[in-house]
Structure 1
Amino acid sequence: MSVKEAAPPRAAPRRQQPKTRPKRKNSQWWIPWLFLAPALILFLYFKFIPMAQAVSMSVQEVRPYLGNTWVGSANYHEILSSDSFHSALGNTVVLAIGQTFGSMVLGFGLALLVEGQTRKLTFIRSAAFLPVVVPIAVVAELWRIMYHPTSDGLLNQLLGLIGLGPSGFINDPDTSLASIAVTGIWRGAPYDMMIFLAGLAGIDRGLYEAATVDGASTRQRILHVTLPGLRPVFAILFVLAAVRGFRSFTEVFLLTNGGPNGSTEVVMTLIYKLGLEQNRLGVGSAGAVLLFVATLVLTVCVQLLRRRRTV
């Protein structure tokens, strides 16, 4: 028999309970809203309340200091039957289509050219994005100078180098709307470029490598890999660019103010003139509501088509 006493059994190690985060007190739910409150107040006061007032004014005859009178749908009937509204609506649609597709095509081309991670491309991307951050008033003034209708104008000098005569640009009813569209494309394409770059970064590089191994050319890789991968980006950009085109005002107002002879009159400039120059605030508000409804319908239709394709 051993003289050593048997050792007592060793206790099993105790499992450490995982540390649980303290539950957030329900009394602190208001803290995020507190930080959002200044922005929400500004949006409410300068955006949502004026929108509600515009809807209310669209069914009234607005008479400052005399009291508004209810007229129902008379304002809508007046603006819908107006030839100037039909002309402005047509110019708005043409300008929106031109700026939308022009900025998307140019932005997509720029994105393909500057895609990469080198420092030189970073500088080029920053330089290409400058038209977006420059105030639209400065952009309009620069293009107004370049559109000078005489042979001494910058663009007319460039046209003279290739044997073309001087153009009136914004002073010619035949070219004024196209000239404004070019200005909008020049300013909107860099914005589309940045969104395209974000979309290109999300495409699997293995697809390009597989296409290269299969002998696909650069054009085939763009058609069969890049464009399908950017389909959601195209849908988003189409809505943004279309809304931007429908709301064109500043560049039109500063470059031509709707002239010459109404060739560049758009819905926004017409609403401005009806409400603030002719003091017909009720009719102008009706036009603003119609423009909002058209933009909303376009956005909803694009989203529905996008969901059908993804299902």
Structure 2
Amino acid sequence: MSVREATPVTASTEPPPPALRASARSRRRRGGQWWVPWLFLAPALVLFLYFKFIPMGQAIVMSVQDVKPYLGSTWVGTANYGEILSSESFRSATWNTILLAIGQTGGSMALGFGLALLVEGQTRKLSFIRSAAFLPVVVPMAVVAELWRIMYHPTSEGLLNQIIGLVGLGPSGFINHPDTSLGSIMLTGIWRGAPYDMMIFLAGLAGIDRGLYEAATVDGASTRKRILHVTLPGLRPVFAILFVLAAVRGFRSFTEVFLLTNGGPNGSTEVVMTLIYKLGLEQNRLGVGSAGAVLLFLATLVLTICVQLLRRRRSA
């Protein structure tokens, strides 16, 4: 009986294909240079840390202290929060802030969406119109406020009063009258914020499948139905993002209010940001002002989280 000798199995010594070698080198290179993006981000992160996050931490600490510059601070716990929450001026400023945020958010999104539908396209003329429409965003807020202050001149010689006089309406006080001052500031915010929303809407419109429009046209859908059943559903994520951005922008309104009315007349345009400024820098009540700032931050944070949760629930 013959015995068969087993032949040992040896590992293949053939080199891996070039694609695998290149992939391995790429992974090693990425793994060894993970710090390169952080190196480029480091200057911005340092600035954010020094000018934003450290002051935020200091504001939280000051909100529970009776701050006395150069004399030392004493711990008061939640007394500053209780004082500002029980203040009638804070409640009035909060209500004005909510109204201003709702008006500016809805107005800027509606106007931005309408502008996006009008200027959507790739022609050279539309590119020029989009650039011209975006100019209010890049103009400094101080210039915008002074421009609208001139247009809001309360006499019949004012620009806007001359325009409404053409339809038989009498001169309005605009920012000089308690009944119209908040609406006037709201109009200024909408004029400045709508072009920014327009550009984001344009980016969202570019991502909608054109085949859906063609199919809707073949089915005989009108322009209104195409907007309702194709455009708006396709822009749902854009609306969620813009709602958060516009709402935060409305809650943090300060410069236009400060420059146009400084909270007047008779507190009709006082918002939380201007009240915090007056408490902290004019009345030297830094602890109470810091408590108001923390409350405003928490309200903005809660709003952002709620919108994101609602968005995820709908997309699930």
TM superposition score normalised by structure 2: 0.92
2:258 is aligned with 1:216 = no
2:223 is aligned with 1:207 = no
In structure 2, the partner of 1:236 is 241
Equivalent-residue separation in structure 2 for 1:198 and 1:309 (angstroms): 22
**Structure 1 residue 34: deviation in Å?**
2.0
In structure 1, the partner of 2:119 is 114
Q: Which secondary structure does the structure 1 equivalent of 2:81 belong to?
A: helix
Equivalent-residue separation in structure 2 for 1:201 and 1:28 (angstroms): 35
Rate the CA distance shift 1:16–1:65 in 2: closer, same or farther, 3 A: closer
**Structure 1 residue 32: deviation in Å?**
2.5
Q: What is the CA deviation profile of residues 193-226 of structure 1, one whole-angstrom value per residue up to 9, with x for unaligned ones?
A: 0000000011111111111111110001101111
The one-letter code sitting in structure 1 at the alignment partner of 2:246 is: A
Q: How does 1:1-311 map to 2 (within 5 A)?
A: 17-19=17-19, 20-21=21-22, 22=25, 23-24=28-29, 28-311=33-316
Equivalent-residue separation in structure 1 for 2:33 and 2:313 (angstroms): 41
Rate the CA distance shift 1:25–1:260 in 2: closer, same or farther, 3 A: closer
Q: Which secondary structure does the structure 1 equivalent of 2:291 belong to?
A: helix
Q: What is the CA deviation profile of residues 55-97 of structure 1, one whole-angstrom value per residue up to 9, with x for unaligned ones?
A: 0000000011111000000000000000000000000000000
Structure 2 residue runs of 5 or longer lacking an equivalent are 1-13
**Structure 1 residue 99: deviation in Å?**
0.1
Equivalent-residue separation in structure 1 for 2:104 and 2:46 (angstroms): 33
Q: Which secondary structure does the structure 2 equivalent of 1:63 belong to?
A: coil
TM superposition score normalised by structure 1: 0.94
Equivalent-residue separation in structure 2 for 1:237 and 1:188 (angstroms): 11
Structure 1 residue runs of 5 or longer lacking an equivalent are 1-13
Q: What is the CA deviation profile of residues 284-307 of structure 1, one whole-angstrom value per residue up to 9, with x for unaligned ones?
A: 000000000000000000000000
Rate the CA distance shift 1:277–1:15 in 2: closer, same or farther, 3 A: closer
The one-letter code sitting in structure 2 at the alignment partner of 1:107 is: G
After TM superposition, where is structure 1 displaced by more than 4 Å over at least 4 residues in a row?
none
**Structure 1 residue 24: deviation in Å?**
1.4
Identical amino acids, percent of aligned pairs = 85
The one-letter code sitting in structure 2 at the alignment partner of 1:68 is: S
Q: Which secondary structure does the structure 1 equivalent of 2:83 belong to?
A: helix
Equivalent-residue separation in structure 1 for 2:83 and 2:15 (angstroms): 80
Equivalent-residue separation in structure 1 for 2:158 and 2:31 (angstroms): 67
In structure 1, the partner of 2:4 is none
The one-letter code sitting in structure 2 at the alignment partner of 1:306 is: R
**Structure 1 residue 162: deviation in Å?**
1.0
**Structure 1 residue 25: deviation in Å?**
7.1
Equivalent-residue separation in structure 1 for 2:129 and 2:270 (angstroms): 36
